């Protein structure tokens, strides 16, 4: 099923091909800076790709040379002019991060160029992160005199590790893709010529698998990371349901017949 839908006047694009969904931050003239309308659109894009397009995996990326420069600072005199307006604005940030973090299907951040601020937060909320060699990372909130949204810090700590998260948040200094690989934030860094092929290969390797099993696996991992017993029980229930699914029947038949399975999510 091919699927295309624009949000925020085309600044956020959701597409789906071969069960692989893509959310593109499409503001290249501003290095893919994210406006309030774009933050508001990200949860909608996640929802439409999972619920309507039935994507098995979602890639998040920026148009052209950069992933994202983060929140669009041109709006700050209005949307972050004081604590009252900042609470409303940061709720939009948090809802976007949460939508990615809690997405039912696996998410991949495909990172080129700049990955700063809120863009870093989007990447940190994803399950997997791959960068093109030479990508640059930073969380510069302290250099603007503001704190990073507290509930989004959990993603940075989980993805970057405690020590490096402190360095990133305390200094706001740029960090290289090499350092991000060493810290475990990135799965790997890829040369430019092979970047698209590697992202596609990883997405396809995930997309061909059984959706219910993927969902159960993602929930179980989240339960471990968040130390959430209720979430663990939910993962156990969904995991048990896989044994009564049509996909399990198909998986066994495909194995016996030495062919690739065709999973339907049922």
pLDDT digits (tens, 9 = 90+) for 6-49: 999 999 999 999 999 999 999 999 999 999 999 999 999 999 99
139-179 tens-digit pLDDT: 999 998 888 888 889 999 999 999 999 999 999 999 999 99
User: Dihedral of CA 223/228/230/232: which sign?
Assistant: positive
Determine the Cα–Cα distance for residues 185 and 255; give it in Å rounded to an integer.
35
- Model pTM score: 0.94
Residue 231: count other Cβ atoms within 10 Å of its Cβ: 18
- Which pair of structure tokens corresponds to residue 115? 């990955």
Residue span(s) of the chain under CATH 3.90.226.10 come to 3-207
State residue 73's pLDDT score: 85
* Bridge partners, residue 131, by sequence: 111, 189
pLDDT at 122 exceeding the cut of 80: yes
Can you name the CATH fold of 3-207? 2-enoyl-CoA Hydratase; Chain A, domain 1 (3.90.226)
């Amino acid at each position: 099923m091919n699927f295309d839908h624009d949000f925020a006047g085309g600044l956020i694009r959701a597409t789906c091909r071969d069960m692989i969904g893509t959310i593109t931050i499409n503001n290249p003239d501003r290095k893919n800076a994210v406006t309030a309308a774009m933050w508001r659109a990200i949860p909608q894009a996640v929802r439409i790709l999972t619920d309507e397009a039935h994507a098995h995996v979602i890639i998040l990326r920026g148009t052209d040379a950069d992933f994202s420069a983060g929140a669009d600072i041109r709006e700050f005199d209005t949307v972050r002019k004081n604590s009252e307006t900042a609470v409303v604005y940061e709720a939009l940030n948090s809802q976007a991060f949460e939508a990615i973090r809690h997405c039912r299907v696996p998410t991949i951040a495909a990172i080129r160029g700049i990955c700063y601020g809120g863009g870093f937060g989007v990447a940190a909320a994803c399950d997997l992160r791959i960068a093109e060699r030479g990508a640059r990372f930073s969380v510069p909130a302290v250099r603007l005199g503001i704190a990073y949204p507290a509930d989004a810090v959990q993603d940075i700590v989980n993805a970057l590790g405690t020590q490096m998260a402190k360095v990133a948040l305390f200094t706001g200094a740029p960090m290289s893709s090499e350092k991000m690989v060493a810290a475990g934030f990135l799965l790997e860094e890829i040369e430019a010529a092979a970047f698209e092929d590697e992202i596609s290969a990883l997405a396809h390797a995930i997309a061909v698998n059984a959706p219910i099993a993927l969902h159960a696996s993602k929930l179980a991992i989240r339960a471990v990371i968040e130390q959430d017993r209720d979430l663990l029980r939910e993962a156990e229930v969904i995991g048990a349901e896989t044994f009564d699914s049509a996909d399990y029947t198909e998986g066994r038949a495909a194995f016996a017949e030495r062919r690739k399975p065709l999973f339907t999510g049922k």
